[in-house]
């Protein structure tokens, strides 16, 4: 049996082999990686415009009416995924594949399809359609692909069960990953806690509206950071991509004193520090109305929960956001700015226990924040999830 973790993104499907160590029970990412871009398929629409999100959400109740463009674009996604699986099968002839699959978007009740997607087509029979194609090509699956997971949950699973994961040796921790989007994960009282299961008392990062009126996702994801810089510099994101000007280049420009880059890094620092502060306080003593919500109709958060009195022992920052924080150390920017803002925020709380836990001589204990070493965390978590589900482990 070959374990494959697949991560569906904005432009491509990426699959990795996942290796399981039977002695330790832990997992690592193998060297085999296969990627297929949606644009490689004839049905791909380069200027595809998703159905208005409000309409998508309304049709969840009234019935999904796929447009011709959605069907075409969906076929590009489905065929890209089928091609990734087929290629792995060719490389491992005679062996069955166990597939774990992560995709963004709202899922069907059986979690095998996608019923709402902000930046892509709806695909209500996504996994069923993929399986039909690969089985017709002679691919041998160990079992049916049971469900589509989320990047956020898979990052948490990776941190818990990977040999280099940073959840596995602590009881209480928070994970923030920033790539194309933003991912949150939690471990509390020694167990993974999904944000979906805890949504009545804690919200996902993207749900928070910052003082600028933008979602927190703009300040914690790689694409969002580009957007912030674009607004300050007046340079279109498309132009930034063309010139390979990404968050590391924005940080470098800030070090050179460029005003737009400095404003961008300053905004990121303040907002991420506020997010970490909110996590610390909410988990310890309940929601304190720290943020407004992107969706004003979101159910209000409860002030009480089962984990009251819990200290977040570790804040883990992963994916490209983690790389950016690591690169910023010893520069005086970002990393130091986040620590400085956290020190200021925690100095202002009344609870002495909270202060004593996180502050040393009035300064936030930088050892609490760790940079994740996991590469391709969503794909790794997807493969692990498939294996644990097969063994009856890890399900609520």
For the stretch 315-326, pLDDT in tens is 999 999 999 999
Distance CA 168, CA 131 (A): 34
Q: Are 394 and 157 in contact (CB under 8 A)?
A: yes
Task: Please list, residue by residue across 252-289, b when 16 or more beta carbons sit within 10 angstroms of its beta carbon and e when fewer do.
Answer: ebbeeebebbbbbbebbbbbbbbbbbbbbbbbbbbbee
Residue 10: pLDDT band by 50, 70, 90 thresholds?
Answer: confident
* Residue 390 pLDDT level (bands cut at 50, 70, 90): confident
- Listing DSSP states for 28-90 in one string gives EEEEEEEEEEGGGSTT--TT--PPPHHHHHHHHHH-----HHHHHHHHHHHHHHHHHHHHHHH
**Domain residue extents for the chain:** 2-151+378-390, 166-372
Q: pLDDT by residue (tens digit) across 57-92?
A: 889 888 999 999 999 999 999 999 999 999 999 999
- Which of 44-58, 174-188, 337-351 reaches the highest mean pLDDT? 337-351
Question: Which of 160-164, 192-196, 334-338 holds the top average pLDDT?
Answer: 334-338
Q: Is the pLDDT of residue 396 over 80?
A: no
Quick one: tokens of 240? 């930034």
Predicted local confidence at residue 53, as pLDDT: 83
Give pLDDT, residue 392.
60
Q: Among residues 157, 101, 164, which one has the least CA distance to residue 134? A: 101
166-372 shares the fold of 2-151+378-390: yes
Q: Class of the 2-151+378-390 domain?
A: alpha beta
Euclidean distance between CA atoms 125 and 119, whole angstroms: 18
Q: What is the pLDDT of residues 213-226, one digit of tens each?
A: 999 999 999 989 99
CATH code, residues 166-372: 3.30.420.40
- pLDDT tier at 179, thresholds 50, 70, 90: confident
The answer, yes or no, to whether residue 310 has pLDDT greater than 90, is yes
Contacts of 198 (CB under 8 A, 6+ apart): 186, 305
Residues in the chain: 396
Give the pLDDT confidence of 27-37 residue by residue, as tens digits.
Answer: 999 999 999 99
Coil, strand or helix at 239? helix
Tens-digit pLDDT profile for residues 339-388: 999 999 999 999 999 999 999 999 999 999 999 988 788 899 999 999 99
Cα→Cα distances 25→19, 54, 194, 385, Å: 10, 44, 22, 13
395: pLDDT strictly greater than 50 = no
**3-state SS, residue 324:** helix
303 pLDDT above the threshold of 50: yes
Mean pLDDT of the chain: 94
Q: What pLDDT sits at residue 391?
A: 63
């Amino acid at each position: 049996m070959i374990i494959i973790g697949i991560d569906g993104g904005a432009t491509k499907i990426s699959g990795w082999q996942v290796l399981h160590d039977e002695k330790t029970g832990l997992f690592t990412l193998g060297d085999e990686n296969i990627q297929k871009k949606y644009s490689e398929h004839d049905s791909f629409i380069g200027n595809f415009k998703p159905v208005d999100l409000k309409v998508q959400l309304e049709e969840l109740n009234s019935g999904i009416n796929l447009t011709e463009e959605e069907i075409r674009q969906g076929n590009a996604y489905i065929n890209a995924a089928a091609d990734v699986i087929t290629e792995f099968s060719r490389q491992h002839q005679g062996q069955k594949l166990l597939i774990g699959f992560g995709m963004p978007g709202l899922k069907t009740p059986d979690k095998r399809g996608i019923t709402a997607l902000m930046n892509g087509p709806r695909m209500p029979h996504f996994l069923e359609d993929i399986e039909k194609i690969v089985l017709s090509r002679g691919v041998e699956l160990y079992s049916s692909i049971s469900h589509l997971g989320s990047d956020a949950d898979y990052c948490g699973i990776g941190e818990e069960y990977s040999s280099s994961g940073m959840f596995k040796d602590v009881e209480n921790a928070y994970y923030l990953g920033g790539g194309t989007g933003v991912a949150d994960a939690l471990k509390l009282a020694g167990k993974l806690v999904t944000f979906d299961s805890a949504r009545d008392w804690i919200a996902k990062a993207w749900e928070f509206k910052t003082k600028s009126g933008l979602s927190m996702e703009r300040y914690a994801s790689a694409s969002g950071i580009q957007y912030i810089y674009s607004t300050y510099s007046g340079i279109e994101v498309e132009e930034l991509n063309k010139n390979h000007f990404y968050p590391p280049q924005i940080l470098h420009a800030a070090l050179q004193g460029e005003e737009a880059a400095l404003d961008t890094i300053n905004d990121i620092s303040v907002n991420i520090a506020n997010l970490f502060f909110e996590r610390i306080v909410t988990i310890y003593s309940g929601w304190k109305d720290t943020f407004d919500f992107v969706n004003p109709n979101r159910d209000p958060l409860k002030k009480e929960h089962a984990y009251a009195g819990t200290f977040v022992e570790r804040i883990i920052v992963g994916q490209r956001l983690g790389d950016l924080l690591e690169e910023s150390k010893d520069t005086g920017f970002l990393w130091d700015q986040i620590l400085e803002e956290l020190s200021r925020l925690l100095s202002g709380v009344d609870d002495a226990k909270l202060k004593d836990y996180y502050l040393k001589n009035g300064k936030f204990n930088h050892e609490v924040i760790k940079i994740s070493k996991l590469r391709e965390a969503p794909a790794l978590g997807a493969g692990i999830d498939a294996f644990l589900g097969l063994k009856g482990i890890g399900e609520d």
